Amino acid sequence: MQVDGMSGVAWKVDNGVFSIGQVSGDVLTFDLEGRIIFASLGGRSYRRTIMNRFLEISSAGGMRSIRELESSESEGVAEAVYRRLDEMAENAGLPDAHDTGLDWIGRRDWNWLSSDAMKLLEIYGGGIPVIPPDQYFALYVRYTRGCSWNRCSFCRLYTGISYAVGSAGNVISQVDSLRAVLGRGIYSRRSVFMGDANAINSSTVEVVKAIRALHESLGLPIYAFSDAFTTPRTKGEYDYRQMHSAGLERVYIGVESGNRNVLEILNKPMDLQIALNEMRQMKAAGISLGVIIMSGAGGRALAEEHVGDTSSFVAELPLGHGDVVYISPMVEYSNSPYYDTVMAENLGILSKDEKLIQALKLKDNIIRLWSDKNSRVPDFPVAPYLLAESIY
Ligand code: SF4
């Protein structure tokens, strides 16, 4: 870290990220081409996604809240960040430091960020609907497009998108295009997320080729989504072992609920015993799990069964260090079959606060049941999954 004694500005380049800040003041981080990553500015905190969406992150009373900014607000934040960067860099004498590789300072603005994001959109052929919350530093690579099931009653992520499967060749040419756009910015990426939904469910031979090609080309761990109802029909421990040895580190599975009635309303044809076996096989193959459950699924009428059965289901999983359980609040889209069922059967929609209370109950139950079963406290987090935060 370099500190300028006169101005009190400190800066460093570490692991593909440039940070600059003033003690107890503003702190800004960028990738090595000048894309904003985080900014703590004027007492507010922002995160920019690689697709140029800005989130304001705040916490009050121990509760974290996330708000995505409108485009005009985002532009204002971006311009303020670059102005502040220019000031701090000048105070620290950075523009004169020719050997830093930070010669982009003073040459970045909102227009540059916007056109950069357009180039990424072009490579992906459209926006990225969702990533797990711990994957915002991932390099997203589209191996499949859409979801092979695409029929869960509550889900709108891939509505209207025809499912397609790529190849190892596709992902490598995508990586070449991403490298060309991201430049040295690629060094800020910590993992590769192989999207879209359920990327590991196509032919094992092809999936393994794609995972290996990505892992060898980028030297980063690979992450992906899976489901627990179509995948177990074609995959077993042997397939997962091959994927893991090719570089697959963790798989995120939307279990949503451990209650059969709730699963039926969600139109998730998941046999709980098969799902359990699938996840045990993944673990036995060395793959970590990201288990996603929902608070509010099944509404008020099924709340008790949902909490009880879901907690019991998660407690059966062989989780440990490297795994994570996410609790995501249900979003009831009014034009979804799920909403229609909830209304027709008078199940009742939980309020935001009720979903929060249910999430806390789920968390407490999971920790208690899992600890009882395993005679130790969990060494994996049970954390919130906020869709508003999980944007790329
Ligand atoms: S499997 Fe996942 S992505 Fe596909 S429809 Fe269901 S919730 Fe949506």
Q: Same domain, yes or no, for 134 and 235? A: yes
Q: At 137, which CATH number? A: 3.20.20.70
- pLDDT beyond 70 at 152: yes
Is 23 domain-assigned? yes
- pLDDT beyond 80 at 63: no
- What percent of the chain lies above the pLDDT cut of 90? 87
Ligand 1 pocket test: pick from 131, 151, 152 the residue with the most ligand atoms within 8 Å of its Cβ: 152
Residue-number span of the structural domain to which 49 is assigned: 2-109
Taking the centre of ligand 1 as the mean of its atom positions, its distance from the CA of residue 311, in whole angstroms, is 21
- Find out whether the beta carbon of 292 lies less than 6 Å from any atom of ligand 1: no
Looking up tokens 């192989």, which residue turns up?
A: 194
- Find out whether the beta carbon of 196 lies less than 6 Å from any atom of ligand 1: no
Q: pLDDT class for 2, splitting at 50, 70, 90?
A: confident
- Find out whether the beta carbon of 254 lies less than 6 Å from any atom of ligand 1: yes
Atom of ligand 1 nearest to the CA of 148: 4
Taking the centre of ligand 1 as the mean of its atom positions, its distance from the CA of residue 145, in whole angstroms, is 12
Nearest alpha carbon, ligand 1 atom 4: 150
Atom of ligand 1 nearest to the CA of 268: 6
Is 51 domain-assigned? yes
Taking the centre of ligand 1 as the mean of its atom positions, its distance from the CA of residue 342, in whole angstroms, is 19
For range 67-77, the mean pLDDT: 97
- Find out whether the beta carbon of 294 lies less than 6 Å from any atom of ligand 1: no
Atom of ligand 1 nearest to the CA of 196: 3
Q: Same domain, yes or no, for 102 and 210? A: no
Judged by average pLDDT, the poorest of 79-83, 99-103, 284-288 is 99-103
Residue 8: per-residue pLDDT: 84
Residue 107: per-residue pLDDT: 93
Taking the centre of ligand 1 as the mean of its atom positions, its distance from the CA of residue 152, in whole angstroms, is 6
Is 212 domain-assigned? yes
Taking the centre of ligand 1 as the mean of its atom positions, its distance from the CA of residue 201, in whole angstroms, is 13
Residue 217: per-residue pLDDT: 96
Residue 135: per-residue pLDDT: 96
Q: How far apart are CA 146 and CA 266, in angstroms?
A: 18
- Find out whether the beta carbon of 155 lies less than 6 Å from any atom of ligand 1: yes
- Find out whether the beta carbon of 225 lies less than 6 Å from any atom of ligand 1: no
Please give the C-alpha separations between residue 342 and each of 109, 152, 335, 339, in angstroms, as whole numbers.
47, 14, 12, 5
- Residue with more model confidence, 258 or 6: 258
Residue 385: per-residue pLDDT: 92
| Closest of 214, 141, 27 to residue 392, by C-alpha | 141
Q: Same domain, yes or no, for 27 and 159? A: no
- Find out whether the beta carbon of 197 lies less than 6 Å from any atom of ligand 1: yes
Q: pLDDT class for 267, splitting at 50, 70, 90?
A: very high
For range 350-366, the mean pLDDT: 96
Residue 94: per-residue pLDDT: 82
| b (16+ CB within 10 A) / e for 175-206 | beebeebbeebbebbbbbbbbbbbbbbbebee
Q: Same domain, yes or no, for 189 and 239? A: yes
Is 48 domain-assigned? yes
Taking the centre of ligand 1 as the mean of its atom positions, its distance from the CA of residue 157, in whole angstroms, is 7
Three-class DSSP category at 319: coil
For range 325-346, the mean pLDDT: 96
Q: Tell which of 78, 109, 140 closes a domain.
A: 109
Is 118 domain-assigned? no
**What does pLDDT average to over the chain?**
94
Backbone angles phi, psi at 340, to 5 degrees: -60, -45
- Find out whether the beta carbon of 330 lies less than 6 Å from any atom of ligand 1: no
Residue 389: per-residue pLDDT: 87
Residue 127: per-residue pLDDT: 92
Is 122 domain-assigned? no
- pLDDT beyond 70 at 282: yes
Q: How many domains in the chain?
A: 2
Q: Same domain, yes or no, for 101 and 196? A: no
Residue 98: per-residue pLDDT: 65
Q: pLDDT class for 206, splitting at 50, 70, 90?
A: very high
- pLDDT beyond 80 at 7: no
Residue 196: per-residue pLDDT: 95
Q: pLDDT class for 28, splitting at 50, 70, 90?
A: very high
Taking the centre of ligand 1 as the mean of its atom positions, its distance from the CA of residue 353, in whole angstroms, is 25
Taking the centre of ligand 1 as the mean of its atom positions, its distance from the CA of residue 12, in whole angstroms, is 41
Q: pLDDT class for 73, splitting at 50, 70, 90?
A: very high
Q: pLDDT class for 388, splitting at 50, 70, 90?
A: confident
* pTM, to two decimals: 0.94
Q: Same domain, yes or no, for 257 and 329? A: yes
- pLDDT beyond 70 at 355: yes
- pLDDT beyond 80 at 41: yes
Q: Same domain, yes or no, for 192 and 325? A: yes
For range 201-215, the mean pLDDT: 95
Q: How far apart are CA 27 and CA 223, in angstroms?
A: 30
Per this entry, what is the length of the chain? 392
Q: Same domain, yes or no, for 184 and 326? A: yes
Is 179 domain-assigned? yes
Is 120 domain-assigned? no
For range 76-104, the mean pLDDT: 88
For range 356-382, the mean pLDDT: 97
Contacts 24+ apart (CB under 8 A), 361-368: 361/307, 362/293, 362/295, 362/307, 362/310, 362/311, 362/327, 363/327, 365/307, 365/308, 365/311, 366/311, 366/314, 366/315, 366/325
Q: Same domain, yes or no, for 265 and 321? A: yes
Nearest alpha carbon, ligand 1 atom 8: 155
Taking the centre of ligand 1 as the mean of its atom positions, its distance from the CA of residue 40, in whole angstroms, is 35
- Find out whether the beta carbon of 227 lies less than 6 Å from any atom of ligand 1: yes
- pLDDT beyond 80 at 281: yes
Q: Same domain, yes or no, for 159 and 291? A: yes
Q: Same domain, yes or no, for 351 and 259? A: yes
- Find out whether the beta carbon of 130 lies less than 6 Å from any atom of ligand 1: no
Nearest alpha carbon, ligand 1 atom 5: 150
Residue 5: per-residue pLDDT: 64
Atom of ligand 1 nearest to the CA of 225: 2
Q: Same domain, yes or no, for 95 and 143? A: no
